[in-house]
Structure 1
Amino acid sequence: MKKYLLALAVGTALCASPSMAQEKLKIGATVYGLNAEFMQIWTSALQQHPAVQNGEVEVTIFDGRYDALVQQEQFNTMITQQYDAILFVPMDVEAGAAPVQAAVDAGIPVVGSNARVNSEVLTAYVGSNDVEAGELEAKAVLDKMGCTGNVVIIEGPIGQSGQIQRLEGNMKALEACPDVQVLEQQTGNWSRAEAQTLMENWLTAHPDQINGVIGQNDEMALGAIEAIKAAGLDVKSFAIAGIDGVTDAINAVKAGEMASILQDANAQAQGALDIAIKAVRPDYEPQSEIWQQYPDMEWQDGGAKDYLVPWTPVTTENADQLLEARSKL
């Protein structure tokens, strides 16, 4: 996915022909961070949106650098420069509320995507149900463990909606397995490297005691796998799960090393952009194919508050198909 980082340099506008400059909508997207594959796919999907490709919309991507204060400054920039609309993937569920209010007060609609913010003035939210994902991934781990043994939980950044809601789902699944003990629970900040370090420490602190790993995203689950391999242990003897369906995770599912659930970054990003355009141009009709791909997620004339993209469990049967689709993004 390195090509996406090259294509999406911070603050770089995704422009079409100069002759249409006066007619274009100017839409900004501030995302919590661009270091990992999932958000690279999300931002790349904006490039591929038909309204960007045909020159109707100019999109500028801002890298929040995993810092809520950085995102707040990016909002200030977009407000000052009078953007037509803002897409927001927040770092913090609470800290993101103030900049959203400032934008709306300035007459700029804000559409949330992928991660939630505690704000009543968002135009809409386009994402997926993280409580459901947290329960599904934990259940995959617990089922492999036979509902007995010990697990560790590697959480997302504390205070981000994904961490909060996926943990709620994790705990819901764990309630059904009272004999399972949580030995360790700590944030890995969505980072493969941080998760690897955590897992290395936990394997040392709890030798031969860890049976399962609940990673709240794939990157962290993959970091745990690297730590297990580095320790000379058999990965397949552990029950490991993550969330997102990134490329390495799909390959790890094929290898029998973990379970994963695909979060459709393409649908979230393109859906959010359709909603944002609709908020500015009331006669707009959606151009992304994702509304046909997910007919249960009805367009509702762009007027709903929540649009939830379904999860797709990654399996050995659908892994190659998912990888082929990924290669086209």
Structure 2
Amino acid sequence: MLEKVGEFMGKLAKLVTAGAMVLFIMLSGCETGQENTERSAMISSNEPTLQAAGNEIVPARSIVVGFSQLGSESDWRRANTRSIQEAAKETGIQLILENAEQSQEKQFEAIRAFVKQKVDVIAIAPVVEKGWEPILREVKQVGIPVIITDRLVEVSDPSLYVSYIGSDFYEEGRMAGKYVMDKLLHAEGPIGIVELKGTEGSTPSLSRGKGFHDVIKQNPNLQVVESEYANFTVEQGNKVMRELLERRSKEIRVLFAHNDDMALGAIEAIEAYGLKPGKDIVIVSVDGTRKAFERMVAGNINSVVECNPLLGPYLMQAVKEMLDGRTLPKRIVTPERIFTEVTAHNELNNRMY
């Protein structure tokens, strides 16, 4: 390839007078990703583009993105991570990924490591909303732009990050609430609802809960009798639902789970208790994973609100546009829908996660 570049430059040199033109030629290639097992970092990279500087071909530095992922607590999160890795590889962006394992402190450590490595952009999927202002000010001082993904951060200065890419969690909660309102419109009250919330202090848990409650309060027959945190996991969904059934089994007619994994765990608990999920207890969840759709087809879940984890293409496109000098919207919201047991069968094969 370099011989072809030399021949091409020789031909151009014959067409112009010496010193009349500065020539830049860009070529690109690919190399495989590398894995840093000591720090659980997963790296996707492409070979740097070649640039012509005078008569010498030198490698140009590729874009480097440091991404702090909050964990791997669910099928949704694992799909989110894969999407970001694959999009980085496809776009030729070098990705340094750190899994914080649900620890904000580990996220701070990863971000400071990214600063030392002088990455071009830092992307963060924050564990919780609060506590980010000091670390984001550190990053701003060194001039590295920050993009927030999936979950929001609560800061007094919005200039501490460039853009947020993710879902409208409040609207997801509203969609779940509307489904319950319509499903039980003519049912006799009171109708007891239990709510399985995710990580305490996280954006999805706060906003989905608010959206749901804002809708169902329009019908006084709908009453949330218990609302408990289950950390977005199957195991905690099962455990907390068992406890709720022991206390409230005669009252519970609806379960609203803030994600599919908690709903799947709760279904196991409901079945073990001798009740029929989807019939004895109406179940509404959020995410839209294949496992949840399979449960909808089986009649165990009544409705699932989609929460799109495939944010990789959006993130990498935003990185490239930002570094090209374009202005990004402060909020980039991904399109999402609600599915029911009636439509689940047709959509099942389209699930990518």
Q: Work out which of the residue numbers 229, 232, 235 in structure 2 matches 1:187.
A: 229
Greater share of residues in helix: 1
Give me the whole-angstrom Cα distance separating, in 2, the residues matched to 1:206 and 1:89. Answer: 35
Contact 2:83 2:313 in 1 (8 A): yes
Q: Work out which of the residue numbers 240, 245, 250 in structure 2 matches 1:208.
A: 250
Alignment partner of 1:30: what SS? strand
Alignment partner of 1:265: what SS? coil
Contact 1:113 1:269 in 2 (8 A): no
Contact 1:145 1:212 in 2 (8 A): no
AA in 1 matched with 2:107? Q
Identity of aligned residues (%): 22
Aligned to 1:314: 339
Give me the whole-angstrom Cα distance separating, in 1, the residues matched to 2:273 and 2:129. Answer: 36
Q: Work out which of the residue numbers 236, 239, 253 in structure 1 matches 2:296.
A: 253
Give me the whole-angstrom Cα distance separating, in 2, the residues matched to 1:252 and 1:142. Answer: 22
Aligned to 1:175: 217
Alignment partner of 2:241: what SS? helix
Aligned to 2:309: 265
Contact 1:115 1:160 in 2 (8 A): yes
Aligned-CA RMSD value: 2.2
Alignment partner of 1:27: what SS? strand
Aligned to 2:208: 166
Contact 1:153 1:186 in 2 (8 A): yes
Aligned to 2:285: 242
Give me the whole-angstrom Cα distance separating, in 2, the residues matched to 1:320 and 1:181. Answer: 31
Q: For residues 125-174 of structure 1, give each alpha carbon's deviation from its aligned partner in whole angstroms, at most 9, with x where no partner exists.
A: 11111111011112323433336310111111111111111111011112
Q: For residues 251-302 of structure 1, give each alpha carbon's deviation from its aligned partner in whole angstroms, at most 9, with x where no partner exists.
A: 1122222211121211x332122112322232xxxxxxxxxxxxxxxxxx55
AA in 2 matched with 1:11? A
- The alpha carbon displacement at 1:18 in A equals 6.9
Give me the whole-angstrom Cα distance separating, in 2, the residues matched to 1:229 and 1:308. Answer: 36
Aligned to 1:297: none
Change (3 A) 1:109 1:320: farther
Aligned to 2:106: 70
- The alpha carbon displacement at 1:35 in A equals 2.7
Note if 1:13 corresponds to 2:39. no
Aligned to 2:89: 52
Change (3 A) 1:313 1:203: same
Q: For residues 208-258 of structure 1, give each alpha carbon's deviation from its aligned partner in whole angstroms, at most 9, with x where no partner exists.
A: 221001111111112111110111211122111111101111111222222
The within-5 A match list for 1:78-227 is 78-119=114-155, 120=158, 121-146=160-185, 148=189, 149-227=191-269
Note if 1:303 corresponds to 2:337. no
Give me the whole-angstrom Cα distance separating, in 2, the residues matched to 1:78 and 1:209. Answer: 51
Gaps of 5+ in 1: 1-6, 283-300
Higher RCO (CA < 8 A, seq sep 6+): 1
Change (3 A) 1:159 1:316: same
Give me the whole-angstrom Cα distance separating, in 2, the residues matched to 1:39 and 1:98. Answer: 26
Contact 2:128 2:201 in 1 (8 A): yes
Gaps of 5+ in 2: 1-34, 51-58
Q: For residues 105-140 of structure 1, give each alpha carbon's deviation from its aligned partner in whole angstroms, at most 9, with x where no partner exists.
A: 211111111110113121101111111101111232
AA in 1 matched with 2:336? W
The structure with the larger Rg is 2
Alignment partner of 2:41: what SS? coil
- The alpha carbon displacement at 1:195 in A equals 1.3
Give me the whole-angstrom Cα distance separating, in 1, the residues matched to 2:108 and 2:346. Answer: 39
Give me the whole-angstrom Cα distance separating, in 1, the residues matched to 2:93 and 2:181. Answer: 46
Query: What is the TM-score when the length of structure 2 is the normalising length?
Result: 0.79
AA in 2 matched with 1:61? L
Contact 2:86 2:312 in 1 (8 A): no
Contact 2:84 2:315 in 1 (8 A): no
